[in-house]
């Protein structure tokens, strides 16, 4: 049986911090697991949450039956005052309705996109302080125990809707390597109501407004045009994307950050 651990973190792939986390996890994880690392920008919990949902809610045909997501993006912004002993946000264990196990720091929107998909969610017994580098020093042992089926570290069952905020509405959710802006608007969102393929609308992100074509796919707009259409993320309920055929919508919109608000008005 194939086994997989997805590591979602705000360390660059070639960074020393990433290498240290991988080494610490390799010392704990059984040897029959495969690995994959997905990096997001520093402190970007919106993209972290988007990635967790996209990987965690895949169908059985698109992932191994034994899949663990270890997500760590911890800007430590749950409190503004100075922290004692480097204490950070809590580390939680959850099981999605898909069966995928998620171990993640409950920071910002890191778990927001799976808030409604969690079959169970637990507080974990773990030292949340004592180290500036918890993803190396505190968490790998727990991920290793979960990989071996040893989940005796669960201490309190939680209600996802009580401890996890909903995802930001009408916002940039993730920016892919082509410069496509994956939004947090899904099929049926109120912001998309009444839009028809071929219609021209004005789409604003931050202070930048552009004329955009509503499309049904990436190739039914002209070269250079910016389009808004259902994307490849979201599984059964697609997230919509803003893309520029032959270009980068991210560059054209002056490099908005994930979480930036999007507004749409009829042209």
Please tell me the distance from the alpha carbon of residue 85 to that of residue 132, in angstroms, as a whole number: 8
Last residue of a domain, one of 109, 139, 163: 163
Please tell me the distance from the alpha carbon of residue 204 to that of residue 23, in angstroms, as a whole number: 43
Q: Which residues of 48-85 are buried (b: 16+ CB within 10 A; e: fewer)?
A: bbbbbbbbbbeeeeebbebbbbbbbbbbbeeeeeeeee
pLDDT at position 9: 95
Backbone phi and psi for residue 48, each to the nearest 5 degrees, phi listed first: -55, -50
pLDDT at position 89: 76
Task: Check which CATH number belongs to the domain holding 158 and give it.
Answer: 3.40.50.10790
Both tokens of 227, joined, read: 């389009």
Nearest to 198 by CA among 220, 169, 168, 224: 220
pLDDT at position 267: 73
pLDDT at position 155: 94
Split the chain (267 residues) into runs of 10 and give each run's mean pLDDT.
Answer: 93 91 94 94 97 97 96 69 46 97 96 98 79 85 96 96 97 98 98 95 97 82 92 96 96 98 93
Task: Check which CATH number belongs to the domain holding 217 and give it.
Answer: 2.40.30.90
pLDDT at position 86: 31
Domain that holds residue 97: 3-163
pLDDT at position 232: 95
Residues 33 and 60 in one domain: yes
Residues 139 and 223 in one domain: no
Q: Which residues of 238-257 are buried (b: 16+ CB within 10 A; e: fewer)?
A: bbbbbbbbeebbbebbeebe
Which residues neighbour 76 within 8 Å (Cβ) at sequence distance 6 or greater? 83, 88, 89, 107
Residue 215: CB atoms within 10 A of its CB come to 21
Residues 21 and 103 in one domain: yes
Q: Model pTM?
A: 0.92
pLDDT at position 221: 80
Residue 89: CB atoms within 10 A of its CB come to 21
Both tokens of 117, joined, read: 């998909």
Residues 52 and 114 in one domain: yes
Residues 37 and 65 in one domain: yes
pLDDT at position 241: 97
């Amino acid at each position: 049986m194939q086994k997989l651990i997805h590591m979602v973190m705000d360390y660059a792939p070639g960074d020393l911090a990433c290498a240290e986390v991988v080494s610490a996890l390799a010392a704990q994880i059984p040897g029959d697991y495969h690995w994959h690392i997905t990096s997001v920008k520093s402190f970007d919990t919106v993209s972290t949450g988007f990635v967790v949902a996209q990987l965690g809610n895949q169908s059985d045909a698109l992932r191994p039956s034994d899949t663990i997501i270890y997500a760590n993006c911890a800007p430590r912004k749950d409190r503004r005052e100075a922290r004692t002993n480097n204490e950070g946000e809590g580390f939680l264990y959850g099981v999605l309705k898909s069966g995928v196990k998620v171990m993640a720091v409950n920071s910002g929107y890191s778990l927001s996109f799976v808030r409604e998909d969690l079959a169970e969610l637990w507080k974990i017994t773990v030292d949340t302080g004592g180290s500036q580098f918890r993803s190396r020093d505190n968490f790998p042992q727990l991920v290793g125990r979960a990989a071996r089926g040893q989940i005796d570290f669960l201490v309190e069952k939680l209600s996802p809707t009580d401890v996890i905020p909903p995802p930001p509405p009408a916002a940039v959710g993730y920016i892919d390597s082509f410069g496509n802006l994956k939004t947090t608007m899904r099929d049926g969102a109120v912001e998309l109501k009444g839009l028809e393929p071929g219609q021209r609308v004005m789409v604003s992100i931050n202070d930048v407004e552009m004329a955009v074509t509503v499309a049904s796919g990436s190739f039914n707009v002209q070269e250079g045009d910016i389009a808004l259409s259902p994307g490849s993320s979201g599984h059964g309920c697609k997230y919509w994307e803003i893309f520029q055929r032959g270009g980068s919508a991210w560059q054209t919109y002056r490099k908005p950050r994930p979480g930036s608000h999007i507004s749409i008005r009829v042209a």
